[in-house]
Structure 1
């Protein structure tokens, strides 16, 4: 893994863990539709912000993997006491990862539409 890939991975991982940990602290214990929508909107924004960076756009796989690992880290710490619930909540990790990937792709599409330097 190159230094730039490692930087993208660590940045994506830390952004995911910090945001989800902050949401975890304000979480009431009930996963409402509003909480899920807020989480997915934040993941889209993080992915879009990463896609506007030339380095992160070039290393999109490292960013998506970091987003997945960060969400999995928070999920495991959140559901450490109730193992049966962790399997039920596992799809939320994939929702978060897909939303971050969609944000990354949306930024790539915007860069292409604006004729900005390509990140491919």
Structure 2
């Protein structure tokens, strides 16, 4: 494979944030329900922190997901992105999709991008 794959924590964070938004829930709501601070949950959703299995279970539980559900969604996201010659990358700082060639080098940190689809 020629491109750089996103880190697990980046994709998992995106999946958690996508699910929270799908449920129309606030960061404060999920943080309170999971027992995780808002700042830590925000860092997890942005792929900046690699949560322990206990924290991951608490957050997924607060969202009505299991760790297995999270693992499946992360694996499907990475697999779809890795099958593409050109990936659509979601810039999490702006929310805008950006085309990225898998053969091109990635400049800067990849924690603000997620391979979503081709």
Q: Same fold per TM (> 0.5)?
A: no
Question: Which one has more relative contact order, counting CA pairs under 8 Å at least 6 apart?
Answer: 1
Larger % of helix: which? Answer: 1
For normalisation by structure 2, the TM-score amounts to 0.29
Larger % of strand: which? Answer: 2
Q: Which protein has the larger Cα radius of gyration, Structure 1 or Structure 2?
A: 1
For normalisation by structure 1, the TM-score amounts to 0.28
